[in-house]
Amino acid sequence: MLDTIDQSFSFSKSFVGGLALGCFLAWYAGRLAYNVFLHPLSKFPGPKLAAATRWYEGYFDLLVGQGGQYMYEVDRIHQKYGAIVRIGPNELHVKDVEYYDTLYALGVKRNKVPYMIDIFGTTLSIFGTEKHELHRSRRMVLNPFFSKRSVTRLESVIQEKVRLLCDTMSACKDRRQVIQLRDAFTASTVDITTEYSFAQCANTLAQPDFSPEWDQMVRGVTEIVPLARQFPGIIQITRALPISFVKVFNPLSAKYSEFERLIRGQVSEIFASYSSSEEEFSVIGTEKPAYARSIFHEVLNSKAPKHEKTVDHMTQEALSVVAAASETTSSTLATTIFHVLSNAQIRDRLKAELKEAMEGPRSLIEWRRLEQLPYLAMKEGLRITVPVCGRLPLVSPSPLQYKEWTIPAGAYIGMCPRDALHNPAIYPSPLTFNPSRWLTNDPAEKKVMDLAFLPFNKGSRMCIGAHLAYANIYHVLSAVFRRFDLELVDTIRERDVDMARDHFGMKPVKESKGIRVRVVGEADI
């Protein structure tokens, strides 16, 4: 009898399990069918598999080649179906530069797509804020700190770190040391960003090898983006695990955790210092020295609610600022220097312009004067690099119109800066590095190029640190090319420079050795 009961119980478990699985499969099949045939976006052109499930994107981003390949599949979809296509169950993509002014317009309500808010594990930061109103209130607190006026006022902080960068590069010349440019520029950007934003420098430039672990940590942040887009919350899980455990399964995720804990330690120190002082600090309109100014004091002195003034909140804000600044700026600087060194005519013309503008090889001039130099290749460097190469989808709470297409409220709509910056109709031979294209005397041509120049996006969701990045890039390029003669070392464009993977920021192939140079000369006059 007991055997009969055991058999009946086993049969019941199998039956219930099979029934549950069958119900799930039926539900999932129904959901796929709904997405393809009944969804409000079902009339938009695109592959049926992309309409059915986000696993279509996951396949290209996680399994094809070295990952991060969905942006190239989106290119193919546009080639086949047109300027507006459906690339996900609830997502459209538009490839039309003129539509930027509609989708990313200032003063209109746009929410962030839910699957994008947690790709860096920073849902408390400006970058990770989903709702338009909360994003606006958070950004208003920090906007004055990152304005062009404020960056100009604290330009001495940038210049100090650029001098230290050049001194460390000079020491590399004496040792005939090969310089990994990503390491060097991540180090300088981290020091500039932490000193400027937190009034507490990370001092990465103090190391003769430019503290390569910082670049590894920053890469750890962006390398997991394709996985995080498919599995929202993966970083929150990683955050809760011991680093030693994470290292076994995903070393880059462990680097991310190390990076976050390092930033959290710095933030905690600043909060402790602030809490122990009765004096308030203010960034704008103060005579206090630069080291006493930081975004933390700006937030703490603001009218933001108390729950926005926590170590968790500011750690995530700091993580976003440092990671975003380091990734975009270092890749742009390294790529620009590669292209300048690869063309002797461009290199010589740029060095001649800088020699005329800057008194001596160790002198630095103001950012406003650097902006007036016609051949300094900052814009062309940003254009060809595409520091933010991934699509940037938003959600409109009201319907939008694209030509004859009515886009329903709540749909995800994205555009990609790469489609503007590498548009051959606007920038002929877009993959050719050509600073002279910006010297055109045709006002109409220049206007079109300027409108399409969107390295940090535009509108209310534009990168808040864009002015700091511009100042950093201008100062580093001018200082390095005014002072040094450089030669490339075992650097191949296809392997080490060109964009091959979308990890929100641009990535070369995994076999890349990086962009490497040697200092072979130093100017005397």
Neighbouring-strand partners of residue 41: none
Residue type, 514: G
DSSP per-residue codes, 168-198: HHHHHHHHTPPEEHHHHHHHHHHHHHHHHHH
Tokens of 226: 């394709």
Closest listed residue to residue 482, CA positions, set 363, 342, 343: 363
Q: Identify whether the C-beta of residue 473 lies closer than 8 Å to the C-beta of residue 460.
A: no
Contacts of 396 (CB under 8 A, 6+ apart): 108, 109, 110, 111, 407, 409, 410, 411, 413
Distance CA 339, CA 491 (A): 11
Bridging pattern class, strands 501-503 and 505-507: antiparallel
Is 463 flagged in the annotation as binding?
yes
φ/ψ of 117, rounded to 5, equals: -75, -20
From residue 120, alpha-carbon distances to 220, 267, 407 in Å are 10, 18, 29
Distance CA 59, CA 106 (A): 35
Distance CA 185, CA 300 (A): 30
**Residue stretches of the annotated binding site:** 463
Residues annotated as binding site for heme? 463
